[in-house]
């Protein structure tokens, strides 16, 4: 299909996929996102056309090199940048409490190197390569009390600084200056950044200079992109972007944003958006300076409907979409021969640690997750089922549980100090089928035993899993399989099917 102006729908990557960064190699595009407390970390996507993306792997897969056991909710690994230089892919990001690191790979779908730790503070690091040199910038402040973007030349193979650190820009005063990237375009060095905090006042600002070291002058119509004053409220919180040119010469920006499920709330978290850019008087321009759900740009392929996703338990290896809380315990899981076995842990979803919980990101507001499993609890408190989790304090569970009165099917809701049993009834043994139908405002729970038709048991509001209710939450809802016990048990969860699909 030839290139032409086409409509497409945002976000281009749906669900919890914040802080996008992108690079192009020929006509191939690679994109990474923050992963926070989830492992494996930093999902990597591939596309040939900018609007249809496939996850091809994860950059962080070595638990011994990336300790996440003690990170808090919304901690861990965030704000990656991906760049390509002389046949090698570079990803740099921040690991909470440890600092900034660089990892490399010749194949972004394959294995990545051990981390190299960079001698530079701040967060949201970025790499820029030019004439055999590598430059590294973060939001490290070199002057107490000031917000700054700082840069140094580095040895990208060792993380060693090759120059002093210098302040190159102080933003426009929006607060929370972060997410810098440097580009060289038509004789100018452009610096892009985010300001305003990552919620409703988020924005993308820009400056330029003839020298990479500055001084940088601010764009006269900063911010170049923000939905802070968008009265339609279809898209909010836009910011943290990466500018790039496609192989036809058109300019775009990938950035985060949120869609609203109810009022000003979202439970999916921050998603990846694509917005076209044109140039005016030497500056990038976004139409109306805001992102929209239905956009139009110079594309060369139509946007496809999302593909169905079903876990393939005939394979021992996990599909790249699976994630776990912090560093998972390998002995808790066994897969192959058409099934996945989960062994209970005494660590619960509320503990802020690494429970037995294998999940995927919720793919859209309108979606459906279903599973089939066998679980024969042995002791009181043994339970297994589906969890919808935003954080350790905010999650819903739909499970089979052993109580002194027998085995029951239970739906429980937890939101900070609020706890409600929304449904509880006896359940017979057999192959238990659980289904959760998701919409903007509700989760609806269904079950079946063996081959009898599904029965609806209850609904639960999405409100109490929204990022705005949870507070300082940088993630989004994930849905997965879990099992827990109050002590040693012979019980285990044998999963025969798991799927997570948009409706």
> What positions carry a catalytic annotation?
19, 178
**How far is the CA of 49 from the CAs of 31, 110, 279, 304, 358, in angstroms?**
12, 22, 22, 11, 31
Q: How far apart are the first and last CA of the chain?
A: 28
Nearest-CA neighbor of 466 among 386, 413, 394? 394
- The β-bridge relationship of strands 116-117 and 367-375 is unpaired
Tokens standing for residue 229 = 């004053």
Buried b (16+ CB within 10 A) or exposed e, 50-80: bbbbebbbbbbbbbeebebeebebbbbbbbb
Q: Which residues contact 405 (CB under 8 A, 6 or more apart)?
A: none
DSSP assignment letter at 201: T
Which residues touch 118 (CB under 8 Å, ≥6 apart)?
92, 99, 100, 101, 102, 125, 136, 154, 159
- Tell me the C-alpha distance between 439 and 110, whole Å: 35
List, in order, residues 6 or more apart from 70 with CB less than 8 Å away. 97
Side-chain half-sphere CA neighbours of 173 within 13 A = 0
Contacts of 129 (CB under 8 A, 6+ apart): 83, 85, 135, 156
- For 73, the token pair is 């909710």
Q: Residue 82: how many CB atoms within 10 A of its CB?
A: 24
């Amino acid at each position: 299909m030839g290139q032409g102006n086409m409509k497409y729908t945002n976000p281009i990557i749906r669900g919890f996929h914040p802080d996008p960064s992108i690079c192009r190699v020929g006509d191939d595009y690679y994109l990474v996102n923050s992963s926070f407390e989830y492992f494996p970390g930093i999902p990597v996507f591939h596309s040939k056309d900018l609007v249809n993306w496939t996850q091809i792997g994860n950059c962080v897969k070595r638990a011994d090199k990336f300790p996440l056991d003690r990170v808090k909710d919304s901690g861990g690994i965030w704000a990656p940048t991906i760049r390509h230089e002389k046949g090698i892919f570079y990803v740099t990001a921040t690991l909470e409490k440890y600092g900034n690191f660089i990892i490399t790979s010749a194949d972004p779908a394959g294995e990545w190197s051990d981390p190299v730790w960079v001698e530079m503070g701040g967060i949201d690091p970025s790499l820029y390569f030019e004439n055999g040199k590598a430059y590294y910038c973060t939001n490290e402040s070199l002057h107490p009390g000031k917000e700054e973007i700082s840069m140094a030349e580095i040895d990208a193979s060792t993380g060693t600084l090759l120059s002093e650190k210098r302040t190159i820009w102080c933003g426009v005063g929006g607060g929370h200056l972060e997410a810098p990237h440097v580009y060289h375009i038509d004789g100018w060095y452009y610096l892009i950044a985010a300001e305003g905090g990552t919620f409703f006042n988020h924005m993308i600002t820009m400056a330029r200079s003839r020298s990479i070291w500055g001084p940088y002058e601010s764009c006269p119509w900063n911010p170049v992109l923000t939905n802070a004053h968008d009265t339609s409220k279809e898209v909010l919180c836009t910011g943290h972007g990466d500018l790039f040119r496609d192989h036809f010469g058109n300019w775009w920006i990938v950035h985060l944003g949120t869609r609203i499920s109810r009022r000003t709330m979202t439970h999916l978290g921050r998603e990846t958006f694509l917005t076209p850019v044109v140039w005016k008087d030497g500056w990038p321009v976004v139409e109306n300076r805001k992102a929209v759900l239905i956009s139009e740009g110079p594309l060369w392929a139509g946007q496809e409907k999302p593909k169905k996703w079903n876990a393939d338990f005939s394979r021992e290896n996990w599909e790249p979409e699976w994630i776990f809380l912090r560093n998972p315990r390998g002995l808790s899981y066994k897969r192959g021969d058409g099934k996945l076995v989960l062994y209970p842990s005494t660590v619960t979803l509320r503990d802020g640690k690494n429970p037995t919980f294998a999940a995927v990101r919720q793919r859209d507001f309108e979606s459906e997750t279903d599973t089939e499993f066998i679980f024969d609890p042995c002791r009181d408190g043994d339970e297994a089922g589906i969890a919808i989790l935003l954080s350790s304090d905010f999650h819903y569970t739909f499970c089979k549980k052993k109580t002194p009165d027998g085995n029951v099917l239970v739906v429980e809701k937890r939101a900070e100090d609020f706890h409600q049993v929304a449904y509880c009834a006896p359940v017979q043994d057999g192959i238990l089928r659980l289904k959760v139908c998701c919409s903007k405002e509700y989760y609806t729970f269904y079950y079946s035993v063996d081959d009898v038709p599904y029965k609806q048991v209850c609904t639960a509001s999405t409100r109490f899993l929204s990022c705005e209710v949870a507070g300082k939450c940088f993630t989004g809802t994930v849905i997965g399989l879990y099992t827990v016990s109050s002590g040693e048990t012979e019980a285990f969860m044998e999963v025969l099917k798991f799927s997570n699909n948009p409706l």
